[in-house]
Amino acid sequence: MGAVTYPDQKVAEFINTNLVPVQLLYNTKPYADDFNIQWTPVVVILDESGKEHFRSVGFLPPEEFISSALLGMLKVHFDLKKYREALDVADILTRDFPKSKAIPETIYWQGVASFEDTNDPQYLKAAYKKLKAEYPSSEWTQRAEPYNLLP
């Protein structure tokens, strides 16, 4: 990714604005062991305390890198129970990267974060219906399928 993705101006701006980047060789001790780095490239999204919430393994072109990192940011907010912030990131992702491979997972987490924020199960059902209509073969559609059984 060092030859194509990281030098991209949009990627560099995104990283510098939204993340605290640390680049290490795959065999840098003790971090390679601490974060179970077995292959490169790997991007690990951590919270402020250093806890991992998301990882991406393998090359991603610039647009997919940004959407993947946004998904990681969404997961950090969700895991920290900051549901409104997670939903804000999901809105950016779906608006700015509608063709991204991260969109099905984003829709899934939008539904779950909306449910957690409001306690209204209709958000779960709506996420499933959207996934079923737009991404019928996605693993995230399969994971959301039980939500269709909600009243």
131, 107 contact by CB (below 8 A): yes
Q: Helix-strand-coil percent breakdown of the chain, rounded to 5?
A: 55, 5, 35
Burial class from Cβ neighbours inside 10 Å (0-12, 13-18, 19+) for residue 43 reads buried
pLDDT in tens, 49-65: 999 999 999 999 999 99
The whole-number average pLDDT for the span 26-43 is: 88
pLDDT, residue 134, reads 98
Report the predicted TM-score, pTM, of the whole model to 2 decimal places: 0.92
User: What is the distance between the alpha carbons of residues 16 and 38, in angstroms, rounded to a whole number?
Assistant: 26
87, 110 contact by CB (below 8 A): yes
Percent of the chain with pLDDT over 90: 83
Mean pLDDT for the chain?
Answer: 95
- Residue 24 predicted with pLDDT over 90: no
pLDDT band at 135 (very low <50, low <70, confident <90, very high): very high
- Residue 1 predicted with pLDDT over 70: no
Structurally, at CATH architecture level, domain 9-149 sits in Alpha Horseshoe (1.25)
- Residue 36 predicted with pLDDT over 80: yes
pLDDT in tens, 73-129: 999 999 999 999 999 999 999 999 999 999 999 999 999 999 999 999 999 999 999
Main-chain phi, psi angles of 102, to 5 degrees: -85, -10
